[in-house]
Amino acid sequence: MRPTSRDLLLIVDVQNDFCPGGALAVPEGDAVIAPINRSMQAFEHIVLTQDWHSPRHHSFASAHPGKQPYEQIELDYGPQTLWPDHCVQGTPGAGFHPDLHLIRAELILRKGFRPEIDSYSGFFENDHVTPTGLAGYLRERGITRVFFAGLAYDYCVGYSALDARRLGFDAVILRDACRAIDLNGSVAAIEREFTAARVNLIESASLLA
């Protein structure tokens, strides 16, 4: 599956707080870096997303007295999992992992910066209505298919891929270039959605075969 000029690699949230030792570490989160760096060689177009939360963000358990991380509450836009404070603007945890190759990225898209609403997807805030502007960027660049890699497979990667399909883009996830949180069966749940939405899963080695 050799990418063309109409394909783009979207690298999702490969940041220090999601890697071992970080505030919201995904198990083996740093294991995505080597396959992502290799995969970049196959793409003409590369975009990165960066979780970029304000202090006291409403998705943080610390913003809700008496609540603990991983509890779920209702906000104006629906259910919200509460997280440990992570990827706070300007902190080392919000920075990209130092081993990730950044030089060929055309765009770094910051998301989750609105204090009152979380943002898993690279395309929409969690109200599923407020756009990030990524879809317009891809359309103006003539992109028709998006490949996804990064963290976490069952949250920000997965929701981005589902939104890509909803917006009419083909979506392919590089499964070995992702790692999951798997909170309360979240991997199985999102994979059922992948099947229904026709999100494809492949191994990154097939890009360079």
Predicted structure pTM score: 0.96
Q: Which residues are catalytic?
A: 13, 111, 156
Helix (H, G, I), strand (E, B) or coil at 192: helix
pLDDT at 17 over 80: yes
Quick: pLDDT tens for 112-139. Answer: 999 999 999 999 999 999 999 999 999 9
> Tokens 């790692």 sit at which residue?
179
> Tokens 């960066």 sit at which residue?
50
Helix (H, G, I), strand (E, B) or coil at 172: strand
Angle at 136 between CA 134 and CA 139, to 5 degrees: 110
d(CA 101, CA 127): 32
Average pLDDT over residues 13-36: 98
- What is the structure's pLDDT at 46? 98
